[in-house]
Structure 1
Amino acid sequence: MNILELHKENWLSLQARRPRLPHALLLIGQKGLGKYALAREFAASLLCENVAPDGHACGQCMACNWFAQGNHPDFRLLQPDALGEDVETEEGKKKPSQQITIDQIRNLDEFLGVGSHRGGLCIVLVNPAEAMNRNAANSILKILEEPPASILFLLVSSEPSRLLPTIRSRCQAAPISVPPTEVATRALVAAGISDAERWLALSGGSPRFAREMATSGQGAWLELLANRLAGGRGADPLGLAGELEKAVKDSKGRLQLKQVIEAVQKWLVDLTLVKNGLPTRYFLGQQPKITMLADMIPAVRLIHFYRTMNQRRQEAEQPLNARLFLEGVFLDYRALFSR
């Protein structure tokens, strides 16, 4: 999937910033758009020593070779350990961190102090920026307040509201838009994804998220969830909670509780859209059933339940009893249809 073909306009916008780069760019957009891949392409083009007229890295120079091998002396990537390999300890493998820690920020001291090895920019790519814990965020804020010369921070975020306001205020925002549906669908079909329109809709228009969903075996639990939610008043909350808890456990980390909650939120969005005379956005194949269900629910209940689900989405990231948590969610859903 060619990220530059998906985001031609965004790429041109980034290239237009080259003559007067800020010390920090914040690439923001919904999950699965390919923001990280786009940020890497931009970093490669800035470090390239024989850049093409359209801004693309040549892929042939020494700098491009170093970058491709992951050892360019003027580039650093900060990301949670969970996005890389498991960390080996004396006891064996430990669970990798989901956060960017202050130690990772401190390890930048020498990199930031030495300056460029190639006489150009030094680039620090932070992905995802909202994964920084409080100490790491405060530490990087101090750097952004007095940034060293010739340093560019590229921060990537799907949830910029989780960043410190002071960090956001010290970055120039670079919004990454959703690619046109036709372009994204063609890219998915070219990548061998069947039923591309369905997956693209479920992902909210994010082609990389759609490909991830289609290739990671998520079809089974999503279909189960949709079929059970379509039962409305007749849904079995306890049975559905048990089935989804089992799916989360059996996935061995590929399916997380928050993804289940996000899917329920999408179902609620479709109910709200249909309630207001608009077509469904996510569950395209369920529109007739969603239309029937929407007629049974007072609009005010939908609004209150969606607000509750926003809170549940945050709770889903904390240690809890998954079974009881899901039972509470689906009991509340069934209550939408009470007379």
Structure 2
Amino acid sequence: MRLTLGLAALAAAFSSARAAHQGFNYGAFFTDNSPKMQSDFEAEFKAAQNLQGAPGTGFNSARLYTMVQWGTPSHPTTAIPAAIATNTTLLLGLWASAGNTAFTNELAALHSAITTYRDAFTDLVIGISVGSEDLYRSSPTGRAHDASAAAGGATAEEMVRYIGRVREAVRGTALEGVRVGHVDTWGEWVGEGNRAVLEAVDFVGMDAYGYWEGAVENGVGEESGLFERAVGKPVWVTETGFPVSGETVNKAVPSAENARRFWRDVGCGLFGKVDVWWYTLRDAGKGTPVPSFGILGEGLGTKPLFDISCDGVEEAEGDGDACDAE
């Protein structure tokens, strides 16, 4: 199968008349666990908007994992005033893997953000994600991979309850009509035991990383087949990417060259057609994680570690020399 066929099918199935959002994922803290402040978020949002060679309309959207400013009980994240200052649209996130008390703090931060920033904030919000990979963390697979070591995850029953609490929290506010969804791995979305979550959401947030699929064929050329398996309600690709450095997993070899190939084989088939938040702009601030997925290195400039343009991708798809997968 040609590498991009699965992605083209996904794009055709879930594209809409409106322009699709393009952005990156933004964590609440740096590699050394220090919090990101408003100036940090602003610098990252501006860098994303001015990336050299960016396809289409560029990257003007941010997916957040939490509403709470890192290091505080329930203060709204400073990513919000940074988004207002840079006109960056937001896919909000409420962390749901740390239990009921922590989730109550997320709701408090959401309420505070609405009342504090009003339309300047709410006009930028394109969706609310209740949790991130919580079903995976609580699954046997997640526990086997120690995914629940830092945070325990949440069951399908808990996630449905959290989703209901978010809908109640935004009722009567400017965010009442915004789509509410959940983000998880494609394997959890297709799991029969999680169908109640699928029925409770307005959109499916899908995280897909062939790099981590060590038990199957996961070379760069296999990514599109892995991607194609998550279907259902409107699909937003909330995380995908390929590491520029780190350890080899099965056939997946981290490098800038392979990250570029994945970007062209996968990203270029999605940008402009499907709402997508790439992982990630920069994950090497104040230290470099292993593996590292950031298309920018330790410094924060506008020149990526590899060519991120999509020039010639359509022509390559029609070229008989284009790389194929079985």
What TM-score, normalized to structure 2?
Answer: 0.31
Q: Greater helix percent: which structure?
A: 1
Higher relative contact order (CA 8 A, sep 6+): 2
Larger radius of gyration: 1
